[in-house]
């Protein structure tokens, strides 16, 4: 199968299928949901039945309906957070790598300081000062995560800035942005895309834990991480309720990363470097 002029192996096709399926669910799924997302229609953790294909959640709401509604919240917020964190993290990380000296020291130590503040305190401060809303949630996660992206982007950038062709570009008198855009970015792309795929998935859960502290998704809106949390107690007795949202997250995580792998392998490689596709 060819996609955008590239041959996609079966795993990539499966990945794409999953991602497209979940994106569609997020966009139009609610039209097909069997019940309202906050409607309590059965007993607590009611078993799977013809009426409720995946049973009921901790207060008797239809699990399938909640999953469908949850797709939009989960994917949308996680994508926004991840994009923001990569924008900040990559920009500053590359600047630190290319400029070096005091800029690097300053930014790196600043990141150390931010990373060192316990996330709980950070979250409580944000909550106290900025209140609870989804934009606040996105910005909070974006900033917290950007410190980690920074560490990676800086490490990647450093490995590249010391290469001869960057030195040459410098001597030619190219500017900071040109070097970042034309020399570093393309060569650091692969690990960054891979990191993006993972951070995106981590954020499904990060969103849920901050929402639990009161920042972000508010009841009755569903998000998958929150659904796992709310139903978690059932697993002690072998009930499946919390597994459904966990499976949804797992499928999307695997799907996204299969696509990421494919994107990375498209990067033209010398023939010998290609193991098997």
Partner 1 sequence: MVDNDGNRNRASNLFIDRRQLISSAAAMGLSLGARDAFAAETPKKGGILRLGMEGGSASDSLDPRTYADSIPICYGWQFWNGLVEIGEDGDPHGELAESWEAKPGAKEWVFNIRKDIPFTSGKTLDADDVIWSLNLHRGQTKSGAKDLMAGISDIKKLAKNQILITLASGDAGLPSIFADYHILIVPNNYTDFSKPDGTGAFELVSFQPGVQIISKRKKGTYWKPGRGNFDGVELRYIPDVSARVQALLSNQIDAANRLDPKTVKLVMRAPTVNVVRTKGTGNRFAWVAHCDTDPYKSNDMRLALKYGIDRQKIIDNVFEGFATLGNDTTVAPSQKYYAKDLPQRAYDPDKAKFHFKKAGMANANLDLQVSEGAFSNATNCAVLNQESMKNAGLTLNVKRVSGDGYWSNVWLKVPYCAVYWGGRPSADNQLAQTFLSNANWNDTNWHSPEFDKLLFQARAELDEAKRGELYAECQKLIWETGGMVCFAIGDYLDGYSKKVKGTAPHPHYDMCDQRIAEKGWFA
Partner 2 sequence: MLRLIATRFVLGVLTLLAVSVLIFICTQILPGDVASAVLGQQATPEALKIFRAELGLDQPAYLRYLHWLFGVLHGDFGKSMTNGRVIVDELAPRFINTLFLAGYAAIIAVPLSVGLGILSAINEGRLTDRLANIVTLIGISAPEFFVGYILIFIFTAKLAWFPSLATVDSTMSLGEHFYVAFLPALTLVVVVTAHMLRMTRNSVLSIMSTPYVEMAFLKGLKRSRVVAWHALPNALGPIVSVVALDLAYLVVGVVVVENVFVYPGVGQYMVDAVSKRDVPVIQACGLAFAGVFVILNTLADILAMLANPRLRRRR
Using CB under 8 A, pick the residue from 214, 269, 274, 277 that binds partner 1.
Answer: 214
- Token pair recorded at residue 240: 């499946």
Identify any residues that bridge with 7 across adjacent strands, giving them in sequence order.
2
Site for partner 1 in 104-143 (CB under 8 A): 124, 127, 132
- Token pair recorded at residue 190: 């692969």
Using CB under 8 A, pick the residue from 101, 171, 172, 173 that binds partner 2.
Answer: 101
Q: Which stretch binds partner 2 (CB under 8 A): 19-27, 63-71, 172-180, 191-199?
A: 191-199
Closest distance of CB 228 from partner 1, Å: 13
Q: Which is nearer to partner 2, 50 or 128 (CB)?
A: 128
Site for partner 1 in 48-67 (CB under 8 A): 58-60
Q: Which is nearer to partner 2, 5 or 270 (CB)?
A: 270
Closest distance of CB 31 from partner 2, Å: 27
Asked if residue 218 binds partner 1 (CB under 8 A), the reply is yes
Asked if residue 209 binds partner 1 (CB under 8 A), the reply is no
Closest distance of CB 41 from partner 2, Å: 25
Closest distance of CB 212 from partner 1, Å: 8
d(CA 225, CA 74): 8
d(CA 139, CA 25): 25
Q: Which is nearer to partner 2, 41 or 136 (CB)?
A: 136
How far CA 84 is from CA of 89, 95, 117, 238, in Å, comes to: 8, 17, 20, 39
- Token pair recorded at residue 85: 């964190």
CB contact at 8 A, 65 and 51: no
Helix ranges restricted to H, the chain:
10-32, 63-99, 101-116, 119-130, 134-161, 164-172, 176-178, 185-213, 224-231, 243-266
SS3 157: helix
Closest distance of CB 161 from partner 2, Å: 8
């Amino acid at each position: 199968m060819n996609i955008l002029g590239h041959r996609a192996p079966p795993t990539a096709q499966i990945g794409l299928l999953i991602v497209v399926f979940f994106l569609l669910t997020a966009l139009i799924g609610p039209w097909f949901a069997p019940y309202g997302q906050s409607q309590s229609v059965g007993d607590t953790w009611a078993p799977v039945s013809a009426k409720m294909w995946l049973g009921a959640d901790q207060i008797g709401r239809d699990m399938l309906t909640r999953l469908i509604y949850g797709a939009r919240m989960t994917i949308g917020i996680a994508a926004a957070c991840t994009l923001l964190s990569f924008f900040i993290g990559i920009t500053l990380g590359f600047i630190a790598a290319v400029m070096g000296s005091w800029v690097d020291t300053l930014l790196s130590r600043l990141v150390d300081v931010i990373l060192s503040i316990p996330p709980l305190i950070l979250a409580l401060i944000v909550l106290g000062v900025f209140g609870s809303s989804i934009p606040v949630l996105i910005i909070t996660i974006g900033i917290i995560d950007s410190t980690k992206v920074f560490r990676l982007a800086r490490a990647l950038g450093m490995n590249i800035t010391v290469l001869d062709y960057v030195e040459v570009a410098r001597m030619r008198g190219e500017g900071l942005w040109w070097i970042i855009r034309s020399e570093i970015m393309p060569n650091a792309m692969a690990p960054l895309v891979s990191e993006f795929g993972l951070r995106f998935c981590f954020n499904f859960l990060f969103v849920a834990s901050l929402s639990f502290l009161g920042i972000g998704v508010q009841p009755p809106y569903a998000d998958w991480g929150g659904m796992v949390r709310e139903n978690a107690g059932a697993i002690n007795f072998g009930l499946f309720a919390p597994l459904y949202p966990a499976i949804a997250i797992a499928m999307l995580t695997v799907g996204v990363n299969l696509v990421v792998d494919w994107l990375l392998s498209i990067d033209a490689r010398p023939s010998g470097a290609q193991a098997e596709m």
